[in-house]
């Protein structure tokens, strides 16, 4: 959001309670919006951005509320002392629940959250020391340096200070090293693992983060209401919080405030206006509310906040960096890996095999790659080339055989652990995060080269490391010819540019071994020439490159060594010149040569593909 608009929002929030004409009802209403916004903000991070649907956030609100209620009422603690205890208990509960629940996928995950939500709800209502279904009343009000916060106008400032601080910390987190990993959870988990990111860890992080925000809301709620009972912490409230996140805009932190405001205001005003419009005391409010929400979801499928943001941009405001903005400022270079000696063995694949049931996708393939060498892995469609890539990088486990990288066995290792050793890759089908900028996508590839954590990112004490990562990303984008697209969304690029972007992201890892799966697909002839220059330069710098490619002219002019596969089996290996004359290769690509054909015609059949051509459907795939 533009800073001017943010200042305006903060000024309005500060000024409302100071105006004597502001009704007490609206102050109370804004307090409830603030409390809901804290819970929904956690859901934005957890569900909207992380893709993990939770129906249990109201139960965490109950943990915070009941902890402070019992400690202050029964034990005589200060409310401020009860807050860290509540946060710690919530942390432990979320860690325990997350360790079990987050292993689930698909519809089992939301069902799992419903199960533990109901368990905590019934626990609140059946524990005698928590007052069972009557709850705990007479909770002491908050005070701040001798100033009582018992009234709605007084606690209002504390509630909204917590909301604004949480919004700031969450936004700082999302636009940082760990934030990029979190934003990859929904649609890029497998890709991110291939760059060394532990996605299971980040799932746990945002689950706990959302639980802590809910706990904070519960703590404030208990001291505002001065009483707690189980009813506000049930499943129906969890569903309502989730609804707020969706309606407001589950991909933006400000969507939490917009969604909470819209839902709570509509519910309240419908109850007041509807009986006057239709002259009835029947309970039609939920029906009308449901119809209105369906209309909102129909015409604002990404939520209301993106519509407001679009209107702001249309009016001349800014919503973030734009194409043409200057690159990130210069920063210290990131440390680089030590390169192996030229011509020393980097990769050794020995009798590697992959079976899918009765299908043998890769059949005991062996080859070796040296430092400073470009090797091509070619063959017809379905030859097993991309599967071989996935076996080397740990995306798939090998049935048998072994893969050795710089003397270390890779088979049996996780993809993220292989990336840590210096193995970077691109993918046969482009795997980018389309809603992130080109610069952020490449910075994700450099994740392992710095170690800023969640807390330092939220507090923005990682600025030096973040500047280094963004500078490195800009350098790699300039290197591959995408320097003018730094702030363009990756999803807006053409397919060929997206493939080049994947190469820049892989280079940001600072790999020793680079695996490129069809890097020239979708590129024009001149773009292929530029790509060949970049790859040749990387080879001269000592990098080892293994590539799969369709374009035979591109492969023959670039590679030092070729391995040819057909039906999962290696059928030939040698220099490009040797491969072009190999009868087994010609059989696989061209279906053999007619024995009755004249010698001149046969020689023509053996000639390599014309420059810029692509061999397919019996050609390379």
Question: Which pair of structure tokens corresponds to residue 235?
Answer: 């499943």
CA dihedral (440, 445, 446, 447) positive or negative: positive
Based on the fold, state whether residues 389 and 484 are members of the same structural domain: no
Total structural domains within the chain: 3
pLDDT band of 620, cuts 50, 70, 90: very low
Which one, of 621, 588, 590, 584, lies nearest residue 605 by Cα? 590
- The pLDDT > 90 percentage for the chain reads 70
**pTM of the predicted structure, to 2 decimals:** 0.89
Based on the fold, state whether residues 519 and 479 are members of the same structural domain: no
CA distance 342 to 335: 21
pLDDT band of 610, cuts 50, 70, 90: very low
CA distance 147 to 145: 6
Higher pLDDT, 408 or 319: 408
Chain mean position to CA 158: 32
| CA Rg value for the chain | 30
Lowest mean pLDDT among 73-82, 211-220, 304-313: 304-313
Element (H, E) at 621: none
pLDDT tens-digit series, residues 490-517: 999 999 999 999 999 999 999 999 999 9
Which one, of 300, 216, 320, 218, lies nearest residue 259 by Cα? 300
- What's the whole-number mean pLDDT along residues 398-427? 93
Lowest mean pLDDT among 5-19, 218-232, 325-339, 451-465: 5-19
Helix (H, G, I), strand (E, B) or coil at 369: strand
Find the domain containing 552 and state its range: 338-422+511-621
Q: Do 253 and 37 touch, CB atoms closer than 8 A?
A: no
pLDDT at 591: 57
Residue 333 domain flag: no
Q: Do 228 and 67 touch, CB atoms closer than 8 A?
A: no
Question: Which pair of structure tokens corresponds to residue 388?
Answer: 């071989």
pLDDT at 282: 65
- The pLDDT > 70 percentage for the chain reads 93
| Predicted confidence (pLDDT) at residue 598 exceeds the cutoff of 90 | no
Based on the fold, state whether residues 77 and 27 are members of the same structural domain: yes
pLDDT band of 223, cuts 50, 70, 90: very high
Residue 149 domain flag: yes
Q: Judging by beta carbons within 10 Å of its beta carbon (0-12, 13-18, 19+), is residue 596 exposed, middle or buried?
A: exposed
Mean confidence (pLDDT) of the chain: 89
Residue 327 domain flag: no
Residue 66 domain flag: yes
Neighbours of 276 (CB within 10 A): 8
pLDDT band of 606, cuts 50, 70, 90: very low
Residue 330 domain flag: no
HSE-CB of 32 using CA atoms within 13 angstroms: 16
pLDDT band of 617, cuts 50, 70, 90: very low
Domain boundary among the residues 508, 523, 543 is at: 508
Q: Do 213 and 38 touch, CB atoms closer than 8 A?
A: yes
- What's the whole-number mean pLDDT along residues 462-467? 94
Domain boundary among the residues 453, 474, 508 is at: 508
Q: Based on DSSP, count helices (H) and strands (E) in the chain, helices before strands.
A: 24, 14
Based on the fold, state whether residues 362 and 283 are members of the same structural domain: no
| Predicted confidence (pLDDT) at residue 30 exceeds the cutoff of 90 | yes
Question: Which pair of structure tokens corresponds to residue 516?
Answer: 């490129």
Based on the fold, state whether residues 294 and 239 are members of the same structural domain: yes
pLDDT at 311: 86
CA distance 547 to 516: 5
CATH number at residue 247: 1.10.3470
Q: Do 380 and 620 touch, CB atoms closer than 8 A?
A: yes
DSSP 37-60: HHHHHHHIIIIIIT----S-HHHH
CA distance 180 to 176: 6
Strands 423-425 and 513-517, bridge-based pairing: parallel
Question: Which pair of structure tokens corresponds to residue 453?
Answer: 């954590």
Based on the fold, state whether residues 70 and 190 are members of the same structural domain: yes
- What's the whole-number mean pLDDT along residues 296-317? 83
Q: Do 523 and 532 touch, CB atoms closer than 8 A?
A: no
Helix (H, G, I), strand (E, B) or coil at 359: strand
Based on the fold, state whether residues 410 and 498 are members of the same structural domain: no
| Predicted confidence (pLDDT) at residue 187 exceeds the cutoff of 90 | no
Lowest mean pLDDT among 55-64, 296-305, 562-571: 296-305
CA dihedral (558, 561, 567, 571) positive or negative: positive
Lowest mean pLDDT among 11-15, 74-78, 309-313, 617-621: 617-621
Domain boundary among the residues 508, 532, 565 is at: 508
CA distance 199 to 113: 19
pLDDT at 597: 45
- What's the whole-number mean pLDDT along residues 435-450? 95
b/e string for 283-321 if b means 16 or more Cβ within 10 A? eebeebbeeebeebeeebebbbbbebbeeeeeeeeeeee
DSSP 313-345: HHTT---S--TTSPPPPP-PPPP-PPPPPTTSE
Based on the fold, state whether residues 204 and 267 are members of the same structural domain: yes
pLDDT band of 92, cuts 50, 70, 90: very high
Residue 322 domain flag: no
CA distance 601 to 344: 42
The residue behind tokens 């909207």 is: 48
Chain mean position to CA 308: 24
| Predicted confidence (pLDDT) at residue 621 exceeds the cutoff of 80 | no
- What's the whole-number mean pLDDT along residues 342-351? 94
| Predicted confidence (pLDDT) at residue 273 exceeds the cutoff of 90 | no
Q: Do 65 and 218 touch, CB atoms closer than 8 A?
A: yes
Q: Do 620 and 552 touch, CB atoms closer than 8 A?
A: yes
Return the beta strands (E) in 187-310 as ranges. Answer: 227-228
pLDDT tens-digit series, residues 446-459: 999 999 999 999 99
Higher pLDDT, 561 or 22: 561
Based on the fold, state whether residues 212 and 344 are members of the same structural domain: no
Q: Which residues pair with 564 in a beta bridge?
A: 378, 572
Based on the fold, state whether residues 365 and 444 are members of the same structural domain: no
pLDDT at 10: 84
Which one, of 109, 98, 60, 47, lies nearest residue 243 by Cα? 47
Which one, of 552, 549, 520, 548, lies nearest residue 533 by Cα? 520
CATH number at residue 606: 3.40.50.300
pLDDT at 590: 56
pLDDT tens-digit series, residues 125-165: 999 999 999 999 999 999 998 899 998 999 999 999 999 99
Residue 355 domain flag: yes
| Predicted confidence (pLDDT) at residue 199 exceeds the cutoff of 70 | yes
Based on the fold, state whether residues 466 and 450 are members of the same structural domain: yes
Residue 332 domain flag: no
Based on the fold, state whether residues 456 and 534 are members of the same structural domain: no
Q: What is the DSSP letter of 354?
A: E
pLDDT at 281: 65
């Amino acid at each position: 959001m533009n800073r001017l608009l943010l200042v305006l929002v903060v000024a309005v929030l500060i000024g409302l309670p100071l105006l004597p004409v502001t009704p007490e009802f609206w102050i109370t209403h804004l307090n409830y919006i603030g409390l809901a916004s804290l819970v929904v903000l956690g859901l934005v991070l957890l569900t909207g951005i992380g893709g993990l649907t939770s129906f249990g956030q109201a139960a965490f609100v109950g943990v915070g509320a009941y902890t402070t209620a019992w400690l202050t009422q029964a034990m005589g603690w200060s409310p401020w002392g009860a807050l860290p205890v509540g946060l710690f208990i919530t942390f432990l509960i979320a860690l325990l629940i997350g360790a079990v629940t987050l292993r689930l996928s698909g519809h089992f995950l939301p069902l799992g959250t419903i199960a533990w939500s109901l368990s905590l709800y019934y626990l609140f209502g059946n524990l005698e020391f928590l007052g069972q279904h009557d709850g705990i009343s007479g909770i002491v009000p908050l005070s701040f340096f001798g100033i009582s916060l018992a009234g709605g106008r007084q606690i209002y400032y504390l509630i909204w200070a917590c909301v604004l601080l949480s919004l700031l910390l969450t936004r700082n987190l999302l636009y940082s090293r760990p934030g990029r990993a979190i934003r990859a959870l929904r649609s890029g988990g497998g890709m991110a693992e291939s760059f060394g990111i532990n996605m299971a860890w980040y799932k746990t992080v945002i689950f706990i983060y959302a639980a802590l925000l809910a706990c904070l809301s519960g703590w404030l709620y208990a001291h505002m209401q001065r009483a707690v009972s189980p009813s506000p912490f049930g499943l129906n409230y969890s569903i309502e919080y989730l609804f707020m996140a969706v309606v407001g805009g589950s991909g933006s932190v400000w969507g939490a405030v917009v969604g909470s405001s819209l839902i709570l205001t509509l519910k309240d005003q419908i109850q007041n206006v509807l009986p006057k419009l239709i002259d009835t005391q029947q309970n039609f409010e939920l029906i009308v509310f449901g119809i209105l929400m369906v209309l909102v979801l129909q015409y604002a499928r990404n939520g209301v906040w993106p519509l407001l943001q679009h209107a702001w941009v249309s009016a001349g405001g800014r919503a973030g960096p734009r194409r043409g903005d200057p690159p990130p400022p210069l920063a210290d270079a990131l440390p680089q890996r030590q390169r192996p000696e030229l011509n020393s063995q980097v990769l050794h694949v020995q009798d590697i095999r992959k079976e899918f049931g009765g299908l043998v996708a890769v059949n005991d393939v062996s080859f070796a790659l040296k430092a400073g060498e470009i090797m091509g892995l070619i063959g017809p469609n379905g030859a097993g080339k991309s599967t071989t890539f996935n076996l080397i990088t740990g995306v798939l486990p090998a049935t048998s055989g072994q893969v050795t990288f710089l003397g270390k066995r890779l088979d049996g290792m996780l993809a993220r652990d292989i990336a840590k050793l210096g193995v970077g890759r691109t993918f046969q089908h482009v795997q980018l995060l389309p809603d992130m900028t080109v610069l952020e996508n490449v910075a994700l590839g450099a994740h392992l080269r710095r170690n800023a954590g969640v807390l330092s990112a939220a507090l923005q004490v990682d600025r030096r490391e973040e500047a280094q990562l963004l500078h490195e990303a800009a350098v790699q984008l300039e290197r591959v010819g995408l320097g003018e697209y730094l702030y363009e969304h990756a999803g807006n690029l053409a397919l060929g540019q997206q493939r080049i972007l994947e190469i820049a992201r892989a280079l940001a890892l600072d790999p020793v071994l680079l695996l490129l799966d069809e890097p020239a697909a979708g590129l024009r002839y001149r773009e292929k020439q530029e790509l060949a220059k970049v790859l040749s330069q990387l080879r001269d710098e000592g990098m080892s490159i293994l590539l799969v490619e369709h374009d035979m002219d591109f492969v023959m002019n670039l590679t030092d060594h070729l391995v040819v596969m057909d039906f999962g089996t290696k059928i030939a290996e040698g220099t490009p010149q040797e491969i072009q004359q190999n009868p087994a290769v010609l059989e696989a690509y061209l279906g053999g040569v007619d024995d009755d054909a004249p010698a001149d015609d046969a020689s023509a059949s053996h000639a390599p593909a014309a420059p810029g051509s692509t061999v397919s459907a019996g050609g390379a795939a």
